[in-house]
């Protein structure tokens, strides 16, 4: 009898422990932004099912659902799908990729298998075709477990555009816009839903996060930020970080040339990446992701053989 009681108490304690751990685990939810738009925003690091804490979202019309970006693997996309199904059972007809980076496109295969059309800029399509399989073959390069991409294929947009496109979901129109200038990547686009006063900026905007700028076209990026600022949209969903506004656009516009100037100055005398990162973090505004992203930016752009702050990719 005593034995049984002890086992029961241990079981109860185990359940309580699991429950408390689960309560502490950050679980991202699709939050309602406006009547027809839901998004994951401000995803904290360590969130299960979103390894690079990227913001994605959905737009719901009378007839169809459009998905903006697909997370980093087919498995992650499947979790996203389950969250979509808690909100609507309308067909997911379109996926839009804001740009080609792995955390935005490698869930495409899941949605393509569910019958969605995949749409992006021509440069995004080309980049997924030329780099997707290489990325999938080398998870260790991104600090991911060897089986991370099991069941994932690199699926490029099957529908591509150069300047813009409108998708009508039934009562809700979605405008895809390429401003004409490269920014965070070649072919980064904006997704605007005028009737909802919502804009998905992809990685053209990082809020409270250090931006990855290794492939960035800095003058073009500033033009993109000006373009979004002039649109005066109330709800701006960045690629990473919390729901944003024009104030966050202004902050990033000030950050980019400041980073460039300081990185050029400091890398002229200091070639050790750890010391240089530490020196940069002292002068940069406080944002998340510092060590990792600032180091990556310095390595890819300022500590190369011809490190001069020019994007190495043209
Ligand atoms: Zn990116």
| DSSP assignment letter at 44 | P
CATH class of segment(s) 3-302? alpha beta
Which pLDDT score, from 0 to 100, does residue 28 have?
Answer: 73
How far apart are the C-alpha atoms of 35 and 204, rounded to whole Å?
A: 25
Per-residue model confidence (pLDDT) at position 279: 97
CA of 17 to the centre of ligand 1 (A): 37
Predicted confidence at residue 304, as pLDDT, reads 86
What are the domain boundaries of the chain?
3-302
Q: Buried (b) or exposed (e) across 173-190, using 16+ Cβ within 10 A? A: bbebbbbeebbbbbbbbb
Which pLDDT score is estimated for 15? 40
Instruction: Pick the more confident residue, 12 or 209.
Output: 209
pLDDT of residue 293: 95
Cα of 203 vs centre of ligand 1, distance in Å, is: 5
Q: How far is the CA of 171 from the centre of ligand 1 (A)?
A: 31
Ligand 1 mean position, distance from CA 6 (Å): 53
Query: Residue 300 Cα, ligand 1 centroid: separation in angstroms?
Result: 14
For residue 308, report the distance from its CA to the centre of ligand 1, in Å.
21
Q: How far is the CA of 57 from the centre of ligand 1 (A)?
A: 16
Mean pLDDT of 227-247: 98
Q: What is the pLDDT of residue 138?
A: 97
Give the model's pLDDT for residue 3.
45
Residue 14, pLDDT > 90, answer no
State the distance from the centre of ligand 1 to the C-alpha of 214, rounded, in angstroms. Answer: 10
Question: Pick the residue with more confidence: 20 or 190?
Answer: 190
Res 44: pLDDT: 85
Residues 16-31 have pLDDT tens digits of 433 444 444 456 789 9
What average pLDDT score do residues 56-73 get? 98
Give the alpha-carbon dihedral of 211, 278, 304, 204, to 10 degrees. 10
Secondary structure (DSSP) of 59-74: EE-SS-EEEE---SSH
How far, in Å, is the centroid of ligand 1 from the Cα of 156?
Answer: 16
Ligand 1 center–CA 114 separation, angstroms: 25
Per-residue pLDDT tens over the stretch 33-64: 999 999 999 998 888 999 999 999 999 999 99
Burial of 197 (0-12, 13-18, 19+ CB in 10 A): middle
Residue percentage of the chain with pLDDT more than 70: 88
Can you tell me the mean pLDDT for 168-182?
A: 98
In the chain, what percentage of residues exceed pLDDT 90? 84
Q: Which residues surround ligand 1, an ion (CB under 5 A)?
A: 101, 203
Give residue 98 CA to ligand 1 midpoint distance, Å: 9
Question: Quick one: CA torsion of 277, 281, 284, 286, rounded to 10 degrees?
Answer: 140
294, pLDDT greater than 80: yes
Do 253 and 243 contact (CB within 8 A), yes or no?
A: no
CA 101 to ligand 1 center in whole angstroms: 5
| Dist. CA 172 → ligand 1 center (Å) | 27
Instruction: State yes or no: pLDDT of 94 exceeds 60.
Output: yes
Name the phi and psi angles at 222, rounded to 5. -60, -40
Q: What is the pTM of this model?
A: 0.89
Q: For residues 156 and 135, is the Cβ–Cβ distance under 8 A?
A: no
Query: How high does pLDDT run on average in the chain?
Result: 91
Distance 240 CA to ligand 1 centre (A): 9
pLDDT attached to residue 46: 84
Whole-number Å distance, alpha carbon 201 to ligand 1 midpoint, is 11
Closest to 176 (Cα-Cα) out of 167, 185, 187: 167
pLDDT band at 6 (very low <50, low <70, confident <90, very high): very low
Q: pLDDT-based confidence at 1, cuts 50/70/90?
A: very low
């Amino acid at each position: 009898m005593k034995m049984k009681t002890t086992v029961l108490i241990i079981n109860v304690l185990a359940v309580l422990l699991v429950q408390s751990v689960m309560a502490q685990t950050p679980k991202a939810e699709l939050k309602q932004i406006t009547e027809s738009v839901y998004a994951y925003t401000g995803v904290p690091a360590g969130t299960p099912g979103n390894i690079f804490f990227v913001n994605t979202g959905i737009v719901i019309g009378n007839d169809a659902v459009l998905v903006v970006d697909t997370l980093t693997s087919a498995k992650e996309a499947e979790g996203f799908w389950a969250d979509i199904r808690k909100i609507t059972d309308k067909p997911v007809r379109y996926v839009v990729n804001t740009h080609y980076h792995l955390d935005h496109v490698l869930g495409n295969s899941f949605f393509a298998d569910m019958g969605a059309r995949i749409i992006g800029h021509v440069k995004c399509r080309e980049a997924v075709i030329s780099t997707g399989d290489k990325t999938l073959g080398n998870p260790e390069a991104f600090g991911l477990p060897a089986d991370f991409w099991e069941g994932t294929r690199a699926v490029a947009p099957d529908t591509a555009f150069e300047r813009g496109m409108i998708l009508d979901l039934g009562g809700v129109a979605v405008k895809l816009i390429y401003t004409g200038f490269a920014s965070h990547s070649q072919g980064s686009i904006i997704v605007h839903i005028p009737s909802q006063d919502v804009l998905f900026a992809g990685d053209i905007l990082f809020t409270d996060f250090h931006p990855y700028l290794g492939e960035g076209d800095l003058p073009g990026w500033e033009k993109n930020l000006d373009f979004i600022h002039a649109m005066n949209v109330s709800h701006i969903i960045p690629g990473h970080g919390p729901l944003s506004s024009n104030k966050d656009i202004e902050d990033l516009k000030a950050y980019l040339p400041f980073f460039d100037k300081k990185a050029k100055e400091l890398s002229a005398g200091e070639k050790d990446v750890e010391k240089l990162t530490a020196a940069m973090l002292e002068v940069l505004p406080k944002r998340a992701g510092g060590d990792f992203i600032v180091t990556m930016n310095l390595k890819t752009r300022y500590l190369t053989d011809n490190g001069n702050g020019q994007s190495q990719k043209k």
